[in-house]
Chains A and B, each alone.
Chain A
Amino acid sequence: METIKLNKLKPGDQGKIVNIALKGASGRRLMDFGFIPGSEFTVVRNAPLIDPVELEIRDNNVSIRHDEAKYIEVVVDE
């Protein structure tokens, strides 16, 4: 299946995390919030120009920066 970067998604899109290409503190913190390969999510909001992207993931609403979202590879449900 084709993977896409998380920052490209639109509100309402649902999918699964495939890979997080972020190391160090940001990568660790994302994992703490449930960004783990296999985690399902729904995009709640995505600000078109500036931050953030808000997701519902593992019963939590988490807002992240575009700068972080672009390192997260996902597959989108059809």
Chain B
Amino acid sequence: MSEINVAVAGQPNSGKSTMFNLLTGARQFIANYPGVTVEKKTGVLKIDEDKCNLVDLPGTYSLSSYSLEETVARDYLLSGQADLVLNIVDASNLERSLNLTLQLLEIGLPVIVVLNMMDVAAKREMKINSEKLSEKLNSPVVKAVAKKGKGKAEIKDMISEVYYNQEKYRRNIAEIIKYSPEMEANIEKISNFFAEKKFEDYKARWLAVRLLSGDEHVQNLVKEVS
């Protein structure tokens, strides 16, 4: 029996909490993060013999550190406590949602993309090629309608599959998200610098990308260390 820690992340109104409640049933409780007012909920999901701890993170549009929600979500994801990320995506708002998905992938944890609200997408006559999306993101994609209880079994199976085959799902992030040649040259230079410094849990490439995007949190971190 293993304990699997899963972070449930997604944009506001993507149905994260609905999905969280569907997966964990009535067994969730509310916990406070020390020092901040934003709550994270944790709940337990049994998958065969394994105990799966789900952490419902606050909804964020991206993972910069401009708001408290973003800081809480991102600190948890960077803390190394989560084994994998369940990224709940509003399928009817796919383009906007994938912005966060890419940022989650960039952190380096295995990500399962859950296309939620597939019924709404279908009503808007949107056709989503989930196989192609899965191939592009190099991550599993599961279709679901949390409100109607659809997708639970598929998500459970996928959590086990990813947890027990992590090597397969942990790919070189630079292969998935490639910036322009000039950007890549800069990212490489800065990552090499970080790689030598050993920033514990922070991945060199992630730090370089965030630094180039003008992230104050990372700027301060670098100042503290250097």
Binding site for B on A (CB under 8 A): 23-25, 28-29, 31-34, 58-60
Q: Are B96 and A32 in contact (CB under 8 A)?
A: yes
CB-nearest residue of chain B to A33: B96
Q: Are B66 and A60 in contact (CB under 8 A)?
A: no
**Which of A23, A24, A31, A34 is the one whose CB lies under 8 Å from B95?**
A34
CB-nearest residue of chain B to A62: B96
**Which of A28, A33, A34 is the one whose CB lies under 8 Å from B64?**
A28
User: In the complex, which residues of chain B have a beta carbon less than 8 angstroms from the beta carbon of A23?
Assistant: 214
A34 to B64, CA, bound (A): 16
Query: Count the B residues whose beta carbon is within 8 Å of the partner chain — how many?
Result: 10
**Which chain B residues in 196-226 approach chain A with CB under 8 Å?**
214
Q: Give the distance to chain A from B94, nearest Cβ to Cβ, in Å.
A: 8
23 inter-chain pairs at a CB distance below 8 angstroms, sorted by A residue, are A24-B66, A25-B64, A25-B66, A25-B67, A28-B62, A28-B64, A28-B66, A29-B61, A29-B66, A31-B62, A31-B99, A32-B62, A32-B96, A32-B99, A33-B61, A34-B95, A34-B96, A58-B95, A58-B96, A59-B93, A59-B95, A60-B93, A60-B96
Known contacts A23-B214, A29-B66, A34-B96; 19 further A-B pairs (Cβ under 8 A): A24-B66, A25-B64, A25-B66, A25-B67, A28-B62, A28-B64, A28-B66, A29-B61, A31-B99, A32-B61, A32-B96, A33-B61, A34-B95, A58-B95, A58-B96, A59-B93, A59-B95, A59-B96, A60-B93
Binding site for A on B (CB under 8 A): 61-62, 64, 66-67, 93, 95-96, 99, 214
Q: Give the distance to chain A from B12, nearest Cβ to Cβ, in Å.
A: 11
User: In the complex, which residues of chain A have a beta carbon less than 8 angstroms from the beta carbon of B99?
Assistant: 31-32
Quick one: which of A23, A59, A60 has the most chain B CB within 10 A? A59
- Nearest first, the 4 closest Cβ-Cβ pairs linking A and B are A32-B61, A25-B66, A32-B62, A28-B64
Quick one: which of A25, A28, A58 has the most chain B CB within 10 A? A28
User: In the complex, which residues of chain B have a beta carbon less than 8 angstroms from the beta carbon of A29?
Assistant: 61, 66
Q: Give the distance to chain B from A24, nearest Cβ to Cβ, in Å.
A: 7
A34 to B214, CA, bound (A): 19
A19 to B17, CA, bound (A): 36
A24 to B61, CA, bound (A): 15
